[in-house]
A = this chain, B = another copy of it.
């Protein structure tokens, strides 16, 4: 009997699919990849979209420095290889959340087009790149973490926008100008894209 049961356990396996999880949640899984300079509003926009979607009873999750840098990616530094690996891992985790039927939002500078392409290519059908744009001068005025000040003082090296490049997306699904639009207006734009793509009803 034991061996019979032992054999049985490979039978009739029902693996819950992404499709089933999406039916459960009432929307599709997708990644909203927010990229932009420090201070461009990525995190604010990502969280505001999550809050709006929550009102609509959608299942969301925000991946950002707070939950990634001190966790999954805590063994990565800021060398070129580590920056690539940082974004690669985030892209893989984002894909897992999409597979779980969750609308996931990432808020990382992700300055290199090649790295963002790696993340996109993992799930081309469900990847929405949102370029959070604001003039460098606007970002520097905001300077929410005081990082521009430190970079200008030479205390921070390789800071994106100051002494390290930011490669602006050329084919982002959406550009939101956070220097001109209010947060709710930016959220409206993103929600429109999600509706158009059939992520939400």
A37 to chain B, nearest CB (A): 12
Name the one of B6, B85, B92, B180 contacting A2, with C-beta atoms under 8 angstroms: B180
Confirm or deny: A5 has a beta carbon within 8 angstroms of a beta carbon on chain B. yes
A199 to chain B, nearest CB (A): 17
Confirm or deny: A63 has a beta carbon within 8 angstroms of a beta carbon on chain B. yes
> Which of A45-53, A109-117, A166-174 is near enough to bind chain B?
A45-53
Name the one of B25, B134, B180, B182 contacting A59, with C-beta atoms under 8 angstroms: B25
Chain A interface, >50% SS class: helix
A102 to chain B, nearest CB (A): 6
- A44 and B96 within 8 A (CB): no
A residues contacting the other copy or chain, number (CB 8 A): 56
Confirm or deny: A158 has a beta carbon within 8 angstroms of a beta carbon on chain B. no
The chain B residue sitting closest to A178, CB to CB, is B9
Could you list 7 examples of A-B contacts with CB < 8 Å? A15-B50, A15-B62, A16-B47, A21-B61, A61-B100, A63-B96, A97-B100
Closest 9 CB pairs of A and B: A72-B92, A61-B100, A14-B51, A9-B44, A71-B92, A16-B50, A9-B41, A16-B54, A15-B47
Which A residues lie at the B interface, using CB under 8 A? 2-3, 5-10, 13-16, 20-21, 24-25, 41, 44, 47-48, 50-51, 54, 57, 59-63, 67, 71-72, 75, 85, 89, 92-93, 95-97, 99-102, 122, 134, 138, 141-142, 144, 178-183
Q: A5-B182, A8-B183 are in contact. List 7 more A-B contacts (CB 8 A).
A: A10-B44, A15-B47, A15-B62, A21-B54, A21-B59, A93-B93, A93-B96
